[in-house]
Amino acid sequence: MSIRHLWAVTRKEIQHIFRDKTTFFLVILTPVILLFVFSYALVVTMQHIPIVVLDYDRSHASRAFVQQITAGDDLELYAQAGSLGEVEDLLMRSEVKAALIIAPDFSRDLQALKGLNLQIIIDGTEPESGGFAADHIGWRAQEYIQTAMVSQIEAMGVSPEALQSIDLRVRTWYNPALKPEVAMIPGMLSIMLGFPAMSVALTLAREREHGTLEQLMATPITRINLLLGKMLPYILISLIDVVLLTLLAMVWFKVPMNGSFPLFFFLSVIFLFSILSMGLLIGVFIPTQPAALALSFLLIFFPGFFLTGIFFPIVSMPPMVRMEAMFLPGTHYAFITRAIFLPGLGLDVLWPYAAMLVVLGAAFTAVAALFFRKKLG
């Protein structure tokens, strides 16, 4: 490997990035803008879910129960229905996402400590909102019946503390408020930093279309020097994105950085080497820019959503899919980012994931170098 030849290609590519506004936008600004947009579009906090109540009991107890489940910002009482037909009409028009039906013997069963006779109907066309409403109503119903049981026990002159056999205390570490953005935004960095890899693939395809790649190969520059020279500028410039994305996550979205930022920065360099090597591999095999862009989305961008464990746990995936996920750099980097941001883990725990990124990057680069000259011919 010649350092002089490597630096010549690197300098040429850096000049191209800053001269070409499209490439500059894709490498520097796109990750920051998309993290901002996706964080609001994908990280959703359920609030003000409209529900309808059909109260057959119409007692003080049933009204108090409805008031309790609609307290706060989670559920919103859209209407009090007088018949099942009204409930069906509101659900069909999608004006409400769930319906709560209170049985006629609600207060009598509550007084007799027989529980609560309730029925919940959810809108299956939007199961997320309906399921949230059902879970919230069930949780509030448990609270309500426990309060009623305590009142009944106290009325009988028995201390509720004397009946408690379980002392259950739930504590949440690393994300006490259970904010979804705190859990998801660190993992989403692996998706955002995949855009420079798309730029590498597009760069190779563009130079092949314009014929400049053949001119470079006619020089004494070796294949590995040429490929690393194409990749190195994108690693250096993408480190600006690492800093900007971290600041956006910490300052705007209030995601805590409980670990070491220098360690995070170092492991981000390794991830960029791995993911950009994947972009190199795509650029070596794909001759045109539209095809390179399409394949980059297919192999880099979309798997980042579905196979890296950011939105769907890897342990719940089929064995073959889990195996495929292990060959994606984003899978290992998503774990690294979450582990450094939230629990604050160190290299003593994260070294296997860093080693896997190095292995993947080296393998992708080696395959790209192996087939590079053959593809030019």
The model's confidence at residue 5, banded by pLDDT at 50, 70 and 90, is low
**Cα gap 37→192, rounded to integer Å:** 11
Q: Kindly tell me if the per-residue pLDDT of 245 is higher than 70.
A: yes
Q: For residue range 272-285, what is the model confidence (pLDDT) as tens digits?
A: 999 999 988 888 88
Tell me the domain boundaries of the chain: 3-43+179-376, 49-163
The model's confidence at residue 22, banded by pLDDT at 50, 70 and 90, is confident
Please classify residue 230 by burial: count the beta carbons closer than 10 Å to its beta carbon, then call 0-12 exposed, 13-18 middle and 19+ buried.
buried
Q: Kindly tell me if the per-residue pLDDT of 162 is higher than 90.
A: no
Written as one string, the DSSP assignment of 102-168 is E-TTHHHHHHTT----EEEEE-TTSHHHHHHHHHHHHHHHHHHHHHHHHHHHHHTT--GGGG-----
Number of H helices, E strands in the chain: 17, 4
Q: Kindly tell me if the per-residue pLDDT of 359 is higher than 90.
A: yes
Segment 85-102 shows an average pLDDT of 88
Q: What is the predicted pLDDT for the residue at 318?
A: 87
Segment 255-271 shows an average pLDDT of 94
Segment 279-299 shows an average pLDDT of 85
Q: Kindly tell me if the per-residue pLDDT of 352 is higher than 90.
A: yes
What the block records as the tokens of 343 is 């629990």
Pick the closest to residue 188 from 316, 338, 321 (CA basis): 338
Could you tell me what percent of the chain has a pLDDT over 70? 85
Q: Kindly tell me if the per-residue pLDDT of 361 is higher than 80.
A: yes
Q: What is the predicted pLDDT for the residue at 7?
A: 67
Q: Kindly tell me if the per-residue pLDDT of 341 is higher than 90.
A: yes
Gyration radius (Cα) of the chain, Å: 28
Contact 193, 242 (CB under 8 A): yes
Instruction: Report the SS3 class of residue 302.
Output: helix
Q: Kindly tell me if the per-residue pLDDT of 79 is higher than 50.
A: yes
* Alpha carbon 335 to chain centroid, angstroms: 11
For residue 39, count other CB atoms closer than 10 A to its CB. 19
- If one compares 46 and 100, the residue with the highest pLDDT of the two is 100
Pick the closest to residue 329 from 356, 369, 349, 306 (CA basis): 356
What are the b/e assignments for 338-362, b being 16+ CB within 10 Å? Answer: bbbbbeebeeeebeebbebbeebbe
Segment 178-188 shows an average pLDDT of 84
Segment 9-37 shows an average pLDDT of 78
Pick the closest to residue 149 from 105, 116, 103, 100 (CA basis): 116
Q: For residue range 222-242, what is the model confidence (pLDDT) as tens digits?
A: 777 778 888 888 888 889 999
Q: What is the predicted pLDDT for the residue at 374?
A: 44
State the fold for domain 49-163. Answer: abc type-2 transporter like fold (3.40.1710)
Q: Kindly tell me if the per-residue pLDDT of 299 is higher than 90.
A: no
Collect all residues with Cβ–Cβ distance below 8 Å to 374 and sequence separation of at least 6: none
Q: What is the predicted pLDDT for the residue at 332?
A: 94
Q: Kindly tell me if the per-residue pLDDT of 250 is higher than 60.
A: yes
**Cα gap 189→154, rounded to integer Å:** 54
Q: What is the predicted pLDDT for the residue at 111?
A: 75
Segment 335-362 shows an average pLDDT of 93
- If one compares 338 and 154, the residue with the highest pLDDT of the two is 338
Instruction: Report the SS3 class of residue 326.
Output: helix
> How, if at all, do strands 98-102 and 118-122 pair?
antiparallel
**Strand intervals (E) in the chain:** 49-55, 75-81, 98-102, 118-122
Instruction: Flag the least confident range among 38-42, 66-70, 162-166, 187-191.
Output: 162-166
Segment 241-262 shows an average pLDDT of 92
Q: What is the mean pLDDT of the chain?
A: 82
Could you tell me what percent of the chain has a pLDDT over 90? 20
- If one compares 45 and 184, the residue with the highest pLDDT of the two is 184
